[in-house]
Structure 1
Amino acid sequence: MRLNVWRGKRILAILTLAFAIGFLTGCTGKEGGNGNFSAVEVGERIQKSADLGNMKQGDAKRFKKLYHLSSEDVSSFVLYTASSNVKADELLVIRLKDESEKDHIMEKIEERIAAQTAKFMDYRPAEYDLVKKHVLKTQGLYILFAVSAEADVIERIFNDTFS
């Protein structure tokens, strides 16, 4: 009888240890915890949960035109803009090469926000409201700019990527 009790305690100890290792491994290996994604990967995560159907993906030429930045200025980026110039929807995710570039890039995005605000203020009030409620935030080397009816969903996905 005593042997069975000892064997039970041993099995319980092994199971407890296995659970603890599994739990700790799961916490440290949490996807997104290391922030080692490209901007495109972050954009793909957003696209899976947020409706970007009324937007089209932009390229380096469009990025330069809208933000006066070169794709060489950043490590990676993903850009979606409204398929029509009478809509304000926009999504930009940037991964910086270096933290020291953050202020400069943020200034360029602020200039874009100001231009969109002026464009839609008197022309399209509903689009102007979207621009006013934009999301602009940073997380380490990443910048998110979103103008969308689903900006809150986009922001949540962005936050969850790095938490």
Structure 2
Amino acid sequence: MLRLFTKVNVKRLILLLAITVVFAAVLTGCSGKPEGERSEVTIGELAQRLKQAVKLEELKQRDKETLKRLYRLGDDEVEDFVLYTAVSNVKADEVAVIQAKDAAQAERVKQNVSKRIDAQTAKFKDYRPEEYGLIQKHVLKREGRFVLFAVSKDADRIEQVFDEALR
């Protein structure tokens, strides 16, 4: 009889452990965001992450007027942005993260940035081959309402920071 009692207790213990494991798995699975939903990071947070990851001291942070002049973008399209460009116009380094007001505007922002890439390519092609090489290795991508543009020797690292921030 003692042996039967032990087997019953062991079975109950195993059942209790199985229920506990399933319950823990369900709680863990429900604690995150729904699949496909991205965290909404701010431009300020993104700029801070970029500054920590790569050297931006050699670049100058720019204002709305520069954004408008370089990319032909206005307040009606852009919610927020951070823009760094080279201090000298003989350098091609440029980093922009632009948050559009909506997804349709983000596509327009990306198209306008593409026009900037074309202009910079034509400008540097025969004039500064090293800078032209940087432009050829640029990063231009869109994630939701955010557009990243990077012309830098650290463009891959900038892209990685951007991707990690928007996960």
- Could you say which TM-score interval applies, normalised by the shorter chain? 0.7 to 0.9
Match of 1:53 among 52, 57, 80: 57
- TM-aligned CA deviation for residue 136 of structure 1: 0.3
Q: TM-score scaled to structure 1, two decimals? A: 0.81
Distance 1:47 1:24, change over 3 A: farther
Residues matched between the structures, number: 161
Which residue is 2:82 aligned to? 78
> 1: distance between equivalents of 2:50 and 2:22?
37
Which residue is 1:98 aligned to? 102
> 1: distance between equivalents of 2:74 and 2:45?
20
Matches within 5 A, 1:117-128: 117-128=121-132
SS in 2 for 1:77: strand
Higher alpha-carbon deviation: 69-78 or 16-25: 16-25
Which residue is 1:21 aligned to? 27
Higher alpha-carbon deviation: 72-81 or 33-42: 33-42
- TM-aligned CA deviation for residue 131 of structure 1: 0.6
SS in 2 for 1:146: strand
* AA partner of residue 154 (structure 1): I
SS in 2 for 1:88: coil
Checking the alignment, whether the CA contact within 8 Å between 2:140 and 2:149 is kept in structure 1 is yes
Checking the alignment, whether the CA contact within 8 Å between 1:71 and 1:77 is kept in structure 2 is no
> 1: distance between equivalents of 2:39 and 2:78?
16
CA RMSD of aligned residues (A): 2.7
Unaligned runs of 5+ in 1: none
Which residue is 1:142 aligned to? 146
> 2: distance between equivalents of 1:24 and 1:46?
31
Checking the alignment, whether the CA contact within 8 Å between 1:38 and 1:77 is kept in structure 2 is no
Structure 2 residue 161 is matched with structure 1 residue 157: yes
Q: Deviations over 1:10-59 (max 9, x none)?
A: 6896588557635753x449xxx633122232222222112212111111
Match of 1:87 among 86, 91, 112: 91
Q: Which has the larger radius of gyration?
A: 2
Structure 2 residue 136 is matched with structure 1 residue 132: yes
> 1: distance between equivalents of 2:108 and 2:17?
59
SS in 2 for 1:34: coil
> 1: distance between equivalents of 2:38 and 2:68?
29
Identity between Structure 1 and Structure 2 (%): 39
Q: TM-score scaled to structure 2, two decimals? A: 0.79
Unaligned runs of 5+ in 2: 1-5
